[in-house]
Chain A
Amino acid sequence: MTLQTILPVQAAQIKEWAEARGEAAWLTERRLQALELAASLELPKPEKTKLDRWDLSGYGTFKAGEKVTSTDSLPTAAKDLIDEGTQNLIVQRNSGVVYATLSEELSAKGVIFTDLETAAREHEVLVKKHLGTAVKTSEHQVSALHYAAWNGGVFLYVPKNVEIEVPLQAVFLSDDASASFAPHILIVADTNSRVTYVDNYVSAGLNGTILHNGAVEVIALDGAKVQYATVHQLGKEVTDISYRRALLSNNSSIEWIIGEMNEGDTIADTATTLQGSGTNSDAKVIAIGSGSQKINYTTRAVHFGKSSESDMFTRAVMREEAQAIINGITKIEHGATKANGQQTEKVLMLSPKARGDANPILLIDEDDVMAGHAASAGKVNPEQIYYLMSRGISRADAERLIIYGFLAPTIAEIPLELLRTRLQRIVERKLGQ
């Protein structure tokens, strides 16, 4: 093992931060192990993107945000994202959670919804058991560094047979470029439970560049149903690396709804391991790239379970000089009989300098399966523009209709009305029209 890699985070810092938080010893120990491991691991290798020249050093330093007693005291950027009257909300500002609330009703049912630091103290057994099981520390250097440096975050536990109707919400705000911003989301849905969780990542007024090294873990036990919706709208100062993983036991399901609306360079990897039989994973990604963003979006489904089904759908619009690689990876392991894996990636390029590369990959080690893919990348069709204009619609309006039309079928399928309208607004803003 070589220890020559110079890491952007040091053991002394980890210890100092842990102390500041009053962290449990077992957790600090894990962090230090992760850091040691990081030194021996390589950078992740997303398909067709080389990370060697990316600046991944912006970990900043731990700064616990000041706790607030009411959402009214939050910065506007965060406040704007909060659904009025929500009783189940976690807000992280920079390195720490500053606001957390859970309704008495859900609390009485045994639901746990708190920041992950607190959960590690108060629900040690649960956290210890599941933390790091979906996103592995050893995956690569970035994941190991995440486990060394993560802060704030969310722990959501839904007990057996508990079905939650209202969406639980979290907001992650970065507004200080010198402050570490690395939330970890851990969701454990126990047997036959059901939950919807929605979060937003946003930045405001940053005075320098920063890295968001984030991880999301969803553990769905037998028969559990999880809906996970996330919208990333981080500014151009933020390099966003997000690894999201769901682990599905028998007959459980995950539905990913993802809005990639960042302004900065982005690596987003959303993967489901369909471990159990009868599992179901559905991923919908809507993305807009602009400016000179470099982007790699990957959706992935790995089938182990019999009769497991996955569907992945990415629609991306690239403007200006944005460069995106869009990978869809369906892996069906030997023994996953009657599995069905489908994927579609579509990219629309709006300018001659914008690039979008749709890259479907099917890896099938079992005969008795179904799998399919469709991918397309292209520019706005001049025949379509002509057709719309021939009815009196201006070129700008014609383009707008076609772009919205391109995204609309995916937006329309978003099951949460509030998120649907919000995403629509963000799309309009990001398209600058």
Chain B
Amino acid sequence: MATKFVIEGLKAEIEGKEILKGINLEMNGGEIHAIMGPNGTGKSTLASALMGHPKYEVTAGSATLNGEDVLEMGVDERALAGLFLAMQYPSEIAGVTNSDFLRSAINARRGEGNEISLIKFIRQMESSMKGLEMNPEFAHRYLNEGFSGGEKKRNEILQMSMLDPKIAILDEIDSGLDIDALRIVANSVNEMKNEDRGFLIITHYQRLLNYITPDFVHVMMQGRIVKSGGPELAARLEQDGYDWIKEELGITDETVGQEQEA
């Protein structure tokens, strides 16, 4: 079945404050969508709410992946259904090696009695790490502990490439990356692009989109998608910034909670 991910009327709040005010978005396998917008407009909240971060409460709407509403699922079930979030701030977990963690994640997909053989796993991990130009030593390091910002981001992409998701959300994957790392990460995304997989790339810089060409670009302000277009929209934002959109829509402060009551 071709992948289809549909977000409808998604509203979410944190500690009683509504951040997402009704997000609608439709994605198909093979498509790359970019969500852009200045800071504080709800982009990362969208990513966290979709994955099921415990601090965010979804108050309305649905997000169906191939007909199933992931918002009804536990965090682990969302992952098993095919959702992946490359996080902006990945957790550090002492005592758990990167490879033990990844093997647990892969085995969770394969189920009891069908665990991946150690040899096969190591080969797979080594080859994925090589593609990301990661030092093999990182397999045996504790999960994200003492990793630099860029190393953590690469580690997120490593997980994405090994877990083979249907919908991959990349939350500010470009922040903290130097130009070489940015190119490596982008290559990895481009290589993984296929008919069954969709990407939702959240960024407030155009920079990443020089390496990954999006099929659709959406601009978020005040907790909503206020404008959508093709790659030319990203180019215009690169050139002119966001002010022209604000002007067009009569927005003075684009951050959440600053909208005029109608």
Which residues of chain B in 66-102 are interfacial with respect to chain A, using CB atoms and an 8 Å cutoff? 74-76, 78-80, 84-85, 87, 90-91, 93-96, 100-102
Question: Are A389 and B74 closer than 8 Å at their CB atoms?
Answer: yes
Question: Are A405 and B108 closer than 8 Å at their CB atoms?
Answer: no
Cβ–Cβ < 8 Å partners of B101 in chain A: 388, 391, 393, 401
Is the CB of B211 closer than 8 A to any CB of chain A?
no
Which residues of chain A in 365-393 are interfacial with respect to chain B, using CB atoms and an 8 Å cutoff? 381-384, 386-393
Cβ–Cβ < 8 Å partners of A408 in chain B: 95-96
Question: Are A387 and B91 closer than 8 Å at their CB atoms?
Answer: yes
Distance to closest chain A CB from B195 (angstroms)? 22
Is the CB of A432 closer than 8 A to any CB of chain B?
no
Is the CB of A120 closer than 8 A to any CB of chain B?
no
From A390, A394, A397, A402, give the contact of B93 (CB < 8 A): A402
Query: How many interface residues does A have (CB within 8 Å)?
Result: 24
Cβ–Cβ < 8 Å partners of B78 in chain A: 390
Is the CB of A404 closer than 8 A to any CB of chain B?
yes
Cβ–Cβ < 8 Å partners of B159 in chain A: 391
Question: Are B96 and A401 closer than 8 Å at their CB atoms?
Answer: yes
Is the CB of B163 closer than 8 A to any CB of chain A?
yes
Q: CA–CA, A382 to B52, complex, Å?
A: 12
Q: CA–CA, A382 to B91, complex, Å?
A: 10
Question: Are A391 and B105 closer than 8 Å at their CB atoms?
Answer: yes
Is the CB of B109 closer than 8 A to any CB of chain A?
yes
From B52, B84, B95, give the contact of A406 (CB < 8 A): B95
Q: CA–CA, A265 to B186, complex, Å?
A: 57
From A381, A389, A405, give the contact of B96 (CB < 8 A): A405
Distance to closest chain A CB from B80 (angstroms)? 5
Question: Are B91 and A405 closer than 8 Å at their CB atoms?
Answer: no
For B144, the closest partner residue in chain A by CB is A387
Distance to closest chain B CB from A228 (angstroms)? 25
Is the CB of A419 closer than 8 A to any CB of chain B?
no
Is the CB of A409 closer than 8 A to any CB of chain B?
yes
Given contacts A392-B109, A393-B104, contact A405 B95 (CB under 8 A): yes
Is the CB of A395 closer than 8 A to any CB of chain B?
yes
Question: Are A393 and B95 closer than 8 Å at their CB atoms?
Answer: no
Question: Are B95 and A389 closer than 8 Å at their CB atoms?
Answer: no
From A381, A387, A394, A407, give the contact of B108 (CB < 8 A): A394
Is the CB of B250 closer than 8 A to any CB of chain A?
no
For B82, the closest partner residue in chain A by CB is A392
Is the CB of B54 closer than 8 A to any CB of chain A?
yes
From A383, A397, A407, A409, give the contact of B91 (CB < 8 A): A383
Given contacts A389-B79, A390-B79, A393-B104, contact A404 B90 (CB under 8 A): no
Cβ–Cβ < 8 Å partners of B142 in chain A: 405
Cβ–Cβ < 8 Å partners of B96 in chain A: 401-402, 404-405, 408
From B54, B100, B109, B163, give the contact of A401 (CB < 8 A): B100
Given contacts A386-B54, A405-B142, contact A392 B108 (CB under 8 A): yes
Cβ–Cβ < 8 Å partners of B80 in chain A: 392
Question: Are B87 and A392 closer than 8 Å at their CB atoms?
Answer: no
Among B51, B90, B95, B109, the most chain A Cβ lie within 10 Å of the Cβ of B95
Is the CB of B53 closer than 8 A to any CB of chain A?
yes
Question: Are A392 and B93 closer than 8 Å at their CB atoms?
Answer: no
Distance to closest chain B CB from A406 (angstroms)? 6
Interface residues of A, dominant DSSP: helix
Question: Are A391 and B79 closer than 8 Å at their CB atoms?
Answer: yes
Cβ–Cβ < 8 Å partners of A398 in chain B: 76
Q: CA–CA, A402 to B104, complex, Å?
A: 12
> Please, what's the 1-or-0 string for B131-174, where 1 marks a CB less than 8 Å from any CB in chain A?
00000000000100000000000000001000100000000000
Cβ–Cβ < 8 Å partners of B85 in chain A: 390
Q: CA–CA, A143 to B161, complex, Å?
A: 61
Distance to closest chain B CB from A154 (angstroms)? 34
Q: CA–CA, A133 to B52, complex, Å?
A: 61
Cβ–Cβ < 8 Å partners of A382 in chain B: 54
Question: Are B51 and A392 closer than 8 Å at their CB atoms?
Answer: no
Q: CA–CA, A398 to B105, complex, Å?
A: 10
Distance to closest chain B CB from A345 (angstroms)? 15
For A392, the closest partner residue in chain B by CB is B79
Q: CA–CA, A408 to B143, complex, Å?
A: 13
Cβ–Cβ < 8 Å partners of A406 in chain B: 94-95
Q: CA–CA, A384 to B91, complex, Å?
A: 6
Cβ–Cβ < 8 Å partners of B109 in chain A: 392
Question: Are B163 and A390 closer than 8 Å at their CB atoms?
Answer: no
For A407, the closest partner residue in chain B by CB is B95
Question: Are B105 and A393 closer than 8 Å at their CB atoms?
Answer: yes
Question: Are A409 and B79 closer than 8 Å at their CB atoms?
Answer: no
Which residues of chain B in 13-51 are interfacial with respect to chain A, using CB atoms and an 8 Å cutoff? 51
For B92, the closest partner residue in chain A by CB is A384
From A384, A390, A394, A409, give the contact of B51 (CB < 8 A): A390
Cβ–Cβ < 8 Å partners of A395 in chain B: 74, 76
Q: List 18 A-B contacts (CB under 8 A).
A: A386-B54, A386-B75, A387-B93, A388-B91, A388-B104, A388-B105, A389-B74, A389-B75, A390-B52, A390-B78, A391-B159, A392-B76, A392-B108, A393-B104, A394-B108, A398-B76, A401-B100, A405-B142
Chain B positions within 8 Å of A, measured between CB atoms, are 51-54, 74-76, 78-80, 84-85, 87, 90-91, 93-96, 100-102, 104-105, 108-109, 142, 159, 163
Additional A-B contact list (17), CB under 8 Å, known A386-B91, A389-B52, A395-B74: A386-B53, A386-B75, A389-B76, A390-B79, A391-B105, A392-B108, A392-B109, A393-B76, A393-B101, A394-B76, A398-B76, A401-B101, A404-B95, A405-B93, A406-B94, A406-B95, A409-B95
